[in-house]
Amino acid sequence: MFSDYSMSELGAIFAMQGFAGLILFSVFVLMALGLAIIFGQMGVINMAHGEFMILGAYVTYFVSQFFSAYMPALFGSYFFVAMILAFFASGALGLLVEWSIIRHLYKRPLDTLLATWGLSLILQQTYRSVFGAREVGVTIPSWMMGSMPVTDLIEIPVNGIFVMVLAVGISMAVYIMMFRSNWGKQVRAINQNRVMAGAVGINTEWTDRLTFGIGCGVAGVAGSAFTMIGSTGPTSGQLYIVDTFLVVVFGGAGSILGTIASAFSISQAQSIMEFFLSGSMAKVLTLLIVVGILMIRPQGLFSLKLRK
């Protein structure tokens, strides 16, 4: 299959494929970070994670509509406003959900799974009733359109680069929050020993709520970033949920670094195999390999030693 191509063409194909893999990597990282906080640190299985992302995407869509109607001069920068709004919208919904549902179910993780699945159905139908069943796409600001030529054969789409930059930025933000802030210290303390953390004066209840809210907020930002590379529909969130969970579990729950590493390996494996096989077979093979590795090493790539 390679004989038809010259060496430089082959190099270009691999570079482009590798770059497609990097975009997929950014998407996975964005999706998985919020879940890594919620599932990894709190052990809560949030099946409605995709719907929190979609909320962020819808917020972005409406902000873009608003800007193009009232402030066309500032249209180029609407995205940054949208991202912040998406964080707070999804985060606020997250706080509400934690308060009304999740906090009653901390001792029953499998039941959280079912309850949040119910929540995801309700959210999907809400989106469908409020925003319509059709997929919506935002107008990308002009500076994000087009592509950057690297060599004669390799071109890199600007929105892809933007999503990558965003993924790096958000990962750093999450990292700083987890390992440098007071909140992060409290979250990790609770993760290690809940009772003891409470005994030394950490308000575990409030920290849990905030953690869930921040995790959902990060999901909202991820959703917001997705509008740059695809359209949004009421059920788009469901497409991501299995991938997202596998990324987090494969990386080792509780480890942010592991999540990023697993997102990288899964996305690269998938995009490289996509070149050799059909898209669906590449996906099947990737998932099978991930599941296979998880069967051999259930704790994931990076595991924290915790006293449960």
CA–CA distance, 245 with 23 (Å, rounded to integer):
19
H/E run at residue 43: none
Contact indicator for 60, 227 with CB cutoff of 8 Å: yes
Between the alpha carbon of residue 298 and those of residues 28, 251, 290, the distances in Å are: 20, 10, 11
Supply the minimum distance, in Å, between the C-beta of residue 177 and another protein.
24
Q: Which of 75, 117, 175, 275 binds another protein (CB under 8 A)?
A: 117
Contact indicator for 124, 51 with CB cutoff of 8 Å: yes
Show the tokens assigned to 43. 């052990």
Contact between 146 and another protein per CB under 8 A = no
Give the list of residues 6+ apart from residue 265 with CB closer than 8 angstroms, or none. Answer: none
Supply the minimum distance, in Å, between the C-beta of residue 211 and another protein.
18
Give the list of residues 6+ apart from residue 70 with CB closer than 8 angstroms, or none. Answer: none
Show the tokens assigned to 193. 């020993």
Token look-up 């707070």 returns: 88
Contact between 45 and another protein per CB under 8 A = yes
The CA-based dihedral angle spanning residues 291, 295, 301, 302, taken in that order and rounded to the nearest 10 degrees: 130
Pick the closer one to another protein by CB: 45 or 136.
45
Pick the closer one to another protein by CB: 76 or 298.
298
Which region, judged by CB under 8 A, interacts with another protein, from 26-34, 208-216, 225-233, 273-281?
Answer: 273-281
Pick the closer one to another protein by CB: 126 or 181.
126
Contact indicator for 259, 247 with CB cutoff of 8 Å: yes
Instruction: Specify the 3-state DSSP secondary structure of 252.
Output: coil
Supply the minimum distance, in Å, between the C-beta of residue 303 and another protein.
12
Which region, judged by CB under 8 A, interacts with another protein, from 10-18, 75-83, 112-120, 178-186?
Answer: 112-120
Q: Which of 105, 189, 257, 293 binds another protein (CB under 8 A)?
A: 105
Q: What is the CA radius of gyration of the chain?
A: 20
Supply the minimum distance, in Å, between the C-beta of residue 75 and another protein.
35
Contact between 96 and another protein per CB under 8 A = no
Which region, judged by CB under 8 A, interacts with another protein, from 14-22, 82-90, 176-184, 289-297?
Answer: 289-297
Least Cα distance to 162 among 90, 79, 259, 231 occurs for 79
Task: Please give the size of the binding site for another protein, defined by CB under 8 A.
Answer: 42
Contact between 57 and another protein per CB under 8 A = no
Pick the closer one to another protein by CB: 75 or 275.
275
Burial 263-283, CB ≥16 within 10 A → b, else e: bbbbbbbbbbbbeeeeeeebe
Binding map of another protein across residues 205-244, x = CB under 8 A, - = no contact: ---------------------------------x--xx--
Least Cα distance to 58 among 235, 224, 221 occurs for 224
Contact between 203 and another protein per CB under 8 A = no
Contact between 120 and another protein per CB under 8 A = yes
Contact between 118 and another protein per CB under 8 A = yes
Pick the closer one to another protein by CB: 48 or 178.
48
Binding site for another protein (CB under 8 A): 43, 45, 101, 104-105, 108-111, 113-115, 117-122, 124-125, 128-129, 238, 241-242, 245-246, 249, 278-281, 283-284, 287-288, 290-291, 294-296, 298
